[in-house]
Amino acid sequence: MTTIEQVSALINAYQVHQIRAGKNHRFVDISIVEVDGRFFVRQYKFGENSWYHAFIKTPLGQIKCGDTTIDIKGQVPSDLSTINAMVTKSFWKKYSIIYGIMKLGFNTKKHEASTLELIPLC
Q: Model confidence over 4-26: pLDDT tens digits?
A: 999 999 999 999 999 999 988 89
Reply yes or no on whether the pLDDT at 32 is more than 80: yes
Reference 63, options 13, 10, 5; nearest CA is: 10
Rounded to whole angstroms, the Cα distance separating 50 from 43 reads 8
Rounded to whole angstroms, the Cα distance separating 51 from 103 reads 21
Q: Is 63 exposed, middle or buried (0-12, 13-18, 19+ CB in 10 A)?
A: buried
> CB of 19 within 8 A of CB of 41?
yes
Structural domain count of the chain: 1
Looking at residue 121, its pLDDT comes to 97
What are the pLDDT digits (tens) for 62-96? 999 999 999 999 999 999 999 999 998 898 888 87
In Å, how far from its chain's centre is CA 79? 16
In 11-26, which positions are buried (b, 16+ CB within 10 angstroms) versus exposed (e)?
beeeeebbbbbeeeee
Domain with residue 15: its CATH number is 2.30.110.10
Residue percentage of the chain with pLDDT more than 90 = 63
Domain membership of residue 69 as a residue range: 4-120
